Structure 1
Amino acid sequence: MVAVDAFLPGFAALAGTPARAGRSGPVNVDLVDPQVPGDVARHAREIGPLESPLIWITLAVLAGLAVIAAILVRTRRRPRRAAIVTAVCCALLAGVTGLNTYVGYVRTGHDLGRVLERGGGPIAALGRTLDDGHDETTSSGDSRRRQPVVPADGPGAPAIETLNLPDPADGVPASKTFVLLPPGYGDPAEATQHYPVVYLVHGYPYGTAEDWLTAGDAPGTLRLLNNDHAIKPMIVVSVDLTAGQVSRDWEGLNVPGGPQLETYLGRTVLPAIDARYRTIADRDHRALGGMSGGAFAALNIGLHHVDEFSVLLLALPYDELGDDAGLVRGDPQRLRENTPRTYLATMPFPSRVSVLLTAGAGAPTDVATARRIAAAFQARGQEAVAHVEPGFNHTWHTARATLPHMLMFADQAFDRATTALTAALH
């Protein structure tokens, strides 16, 4: 924990920011599900060009036409073979693009490039041609950091830096952690400004820290929220908790005999971010969130470390390991310690925790789970709000659509903490 005195200039700058309509009031004001500005909500719910159902419908029609062609030329060997190959390829592509339409994982050519870059050889080369890389600067794992560039996405967009934060002692190899810096971060006039931090965890399995930049569209959401002055400047960090094995469903655990991901987040990532960036390094200005498996990780780690996080942002949440209980190697004590549904009902809360849970209305199980977890927090005297997003299911569509609610909810909590500290200092 860093002494508060070290951040008085940053707090003063935050406190001096003009208040937004509807945000004034007593320090102990309750947090609510935020009213997201219309342009932000519309953007977050938009379907990207590569998510259009017209793509898979067209491919399905082409597959059907190829089948018909194969039947018509069945006596001609080579044309029939070509028609069958075409039908199979179109059918496979229709299935893949149809799944993407449902899940919302790849929105644009830029997103597709990022995904392809994870492959090797010519696939990665193709990905690099689709990914212009304009929105990112690179940082090494040491204390030196390049000055953020002005993003090409326009005013209000965050500058994005990449950190390499390996931790061999905890079984975590080199990986990418993405840091989204608020507008003006590199301005010498803002050199004394310090910022609250939101940490986001990807889903499991086959998730990466990059997902919050692509499928989650955190840069686009932050750009619009900043331009609408709907939030005060904050740093957003997308953390890699894959331990270099994206196919594994680690759930953010300290796995017996495996990667110690909970420890990695607290012992490696948090100190590195606080050391490299001008953060307000206290629990009241730090949030932890995630989607699906990342939401479980955020919930479990956040409850284990109430001294580090005051806000939890949980999209598509659940509170028990279920089929992944094998990660604890049959140890009943470890299973209890990593099942929030079990321990939340009796755990003490030495400090207040504020929680936003989001779910898509098309996933009734998610909605029921979110409301049940919210009720469990409320029964322990903690703030918890459940937001149900219409029209979406247990997919990235829901996570992307509810990210503005998550960031604005965190901003409410940070604002309240800053106001309380300012009042105490005066």
Structure 2
Amino acid sequence: MSLMSNAFLVTILLGTVLVFAAGVWLWPRLARRSWRAVLGRVGLILTAQVLVLASVGLVANRTFLLYASWGDLFAGQKTEASQQGGDLPGGVAVKVLGRQKPEVPGSAEPRSAGVVEKVMLKGERSRQGGEAYVYLPPEYFQKGNEHRKFPAAVVLTGYPGMAENLVRNLKYPRTAWTLAKEKKMPPTILVMMRPTVVPFNSQCIDIPGGPATETFFGTDLPKTIAGAYRTGTQARDWGIIGDSTGGYCALKMGLQHQETYSVAIGLSADYKPEVDAQSGDLFHGDKKLEKRSDLMTNLEKLPKGKSSFLVTTSLIGESNLKPTREFVEKVKDRANVSSITLDSGGHGFNTWRREIPPAMEWMGARLGK
């Protein structure tokens, strides 16, 4: 059974109830002092605890959409199925898997609400790919706009996390729809993804001898989307935003791929990759790559240009306050940089929901310029 299946959750919950009932029924018999009774008590208690923890974990996973599959949960497993780019027929870069109405008021007509398409993507250079949700605004379908090119933004989750979080919990499509309706942001196509296209935390790095995740996000993704949807193709037409690890990736793309993105936003961003059990060895001894992946390194050598950056933090509740201030100080003479500092916040959805509307409005004022 899949990790997210209803059948698996029901099975675990039912098993928990049955084990609890068996414990109540059998406990008088297991209260004896024989070694068999002792083993029975220990086994029953351990089984009940495992099932209770599994139930809580499954419910939490479905609520916060952390892991999509067993491969995500046990991130070191690189199975054939997880190399999603290889699942598409030769020559196909975008395959639509399904469509849904965004959670916005009013009619379900695309001309009023827009559309969210679930797609499978494959990059030309990186040969990597993965699932994404593409939000197409109502204007995309309205008469007279048949040849109109729209600005676009890549939206990234943290790790672990599922792209569905961006639609359901963080409500990016609804925010973009509302801001466009209020004339605070141009109608914008959103490409919502996880910050990795492999079943481990690759953190937008081209790993030596491994997956080319930076190439996918830095080069392939906008070209792939532009080949399937009516988006602009210049850096001024593209922005990127993410939270936590996704924020690190967004800033990395904005700093190191200015030919692709002109606007980059990091919500509660990291400023260097975390090398741990979820990432594995990202650099394989390549010190130059490791140094390049630390965003604070050589910021003073950043080419002056028209790139714009927004970073967020909190005075209380965030661990990135000091590096965020350092980032702003180092970048301000080389690029346009702004920041949002909340009085208090945290590393989670409640904080990001407060930051997303002003961040998206800020991005909208800069896209296409």
Question: C-alpha displacement at 1:73, in angstroms?
Answer: 9.3
- Tell me, in whole angstroms, the C-alpha distance in 2 between the residues paired with 1:321 and 1:150: 36
- Tell me, in whole angstroms, the C-alpha distance in 2 between the residues paired with 1:147 and 1:89: 34
Partner of 1:60: none
Partner of 1:33: none
- Of 154, 157, 161 in structure 1, the residue corresponding to residue 105 of structure 2 is 154
Output the amino acid matched with 2:126. D
Q: Which has the higher contact order (CA 8 A, sep 6+)?
A: 1
Higher strand share: 2
- Asked if 1:195 corresponds to 2:150, the answer is yes
Question: C-alpha displacement at 1:300, in angstroms?
Answer: 1.6
- Tell me, in whole angstroms, the C-alpha distance in 1 between the residues paired with 2:168 and 2:234: 29
| 1:8-87 map, 5 Å | 75=28, 77=30
Is the 8 Å Cα contact of residues 157 and 222 (structure 1) preserved in structure 2?
no
Is the 8 Å Cα contact of residues 209 and 238 (structure 1) preserved in structure 2?
yes
- Asked if 1:281 corresponds to 2:236, the answer is no
Question: C-alpha displacement at 1:346, in angstroms?
Answer: 2.1
- Tell me, in whole angstroms, the C-alpha distance in 2 between the residues paired with 1:91 and 1:144: 38
- Asked if 1:395 corresponds to 2:348, the answer is yes
- Asked if 1:163 corresponds to 2:163, the answer is no
Identity, % of aligned pairs? 21
- Tell me, in whole angstroms, the C-alpha distance in 2 between the residues paired with 1:377 and 1:160: 35
| 1:357-372 map, 5 Å | 357-372=311-326
Is the 8 Å Cα contact of residues 196 and 414 (structure 1) preserved in structure 2?
yes
- Asked if 1:260 corresponds to 2:216, the answer is no
- Tell me, in whole angstroms, the C-alpha distance in 2 between the residues paired with 1:363 and 1:152: 30
Partner of 2:331: 377
- Asked if 1:209 corresponds to 2:163, the answer is yes
Question: C-alpha displacement at 1:88, in angstroms?
Answer: 6.2
- TM (normalized to structure 1)? 0.63
- Tell me, in whole angstroms, the C-alpha distance in 1 between the residues paired with 2:102 and 2:274: 42
Partner of 1:335: 290
- Of 237, 247, 258 in structure 2, the residue corresponding to residue 295 of structure 1 is 247
Output the amino acid matched with 1:302. G
- Tell me, in whole angstroms, the C-alpha distance in 2 between the residues paired with 1:336 and 1:149: 42
Partner of 1:26: none
Is the 8 Å Cα contact of residues 296 and 317 (structure 1) preserved in structure 2?
yes
CA, structure 1 residues 76+268, in 2 after alignment: closer, same or farther (shift >3 Å)? same
Is the 8 Å Cα contact of residues 254 and 307 (structure 2) preserved in structure 1?
no
Output the amino acid matched with 1:162. K
Partner of 2:366: 413
- Tell me, in whole angstroms, the C-alpha distance in 2 between the residues paired with 1:189 and 1:86: 62
Aligned residues: 317
Give the 3-state SS of the residue equivalent to 2:154 in structure 1.
strand
Question: C-alpha displacement at 1:259, in angstroms?
Answer: 0.6
- Tell me, in whole angstroms, the C-alpha distance in 2 between the residues paired with 1:96 and 1:151: 26
CA, structure 1 residues 239+146, in 2 after alignment: closer, same or farther (shift >3 Å)? closer
Higher helix share: 1
Question: C-alpha displacement at 1:148, in angstroms?
Answer: 7.3
